[in-house]
């Protein structure tokens, strides 16, 4: 969730539009998620033929909610540079966002 929040703050609207365009190019059926077969097609189209277990590993890494598919938020996080996501200021902003009662703690 923290990665998702930070990633959503990192990009300008123009950058998000470009990433959304790339997402839609992969999401051929337009259902708002990237399915396993769509991911395989992208790699095959780029002449990067991956083995089934490699595709599964990539899907598992990006699919943080365990749905078996990649939604745009997960795509956005995956497109982000981990160094940017973990900058102290970004983490502090995410903590402040989650600390709704300003107690210094994130509670249930």
Query: Strands (DSSP E) along 1-108, which ranges?
Result: 33-34, 70-71
Q: 28-76: per-residue pLDDT in tens? A: 999 999 999 998 888 888 777 777 788 888 898 889 889 999 999 888 8
What is the number of alpha carbons within 13 Å of residue 44 lying toward its C-beta? 8
Domain definitions of the chain by residue range: 2-98
Mean pLDDT of the chain: 81
CATH of domain 2-98: 1.10.238.10
pLDDT digits (tens, 9 = 90+) for 63-72: 988 999 999 9
d(CA 4, CA 76): 8
pTM (two decimals): 0.65
Please give the residue that has the higher pLDDT: either 97 or 6: 97
């Amino acid at each position: 969730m923290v990665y998702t929040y930070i990633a959503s703050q990192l990009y300008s609207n123009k950058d998000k539009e470009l990433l959304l365009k790339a997402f839609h190019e992969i999401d051929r059926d337009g259902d708002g998620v990237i399915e396993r077969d769509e991911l395989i097609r992208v790699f095959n189209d780029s002449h990067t033929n991956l083995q089934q277990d490699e595709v599964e590993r990539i899907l598992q890494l990006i699919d943080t909610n365990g749905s078996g598919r990649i939604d745009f938020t997960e795509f956005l996080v995956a497109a982000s540079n981990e160094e940017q996501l973990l900058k102290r200021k970004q983490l502090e902003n995410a903590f402040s966002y989650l600390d709704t009662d300003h107690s210094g703690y994130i509670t249930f």
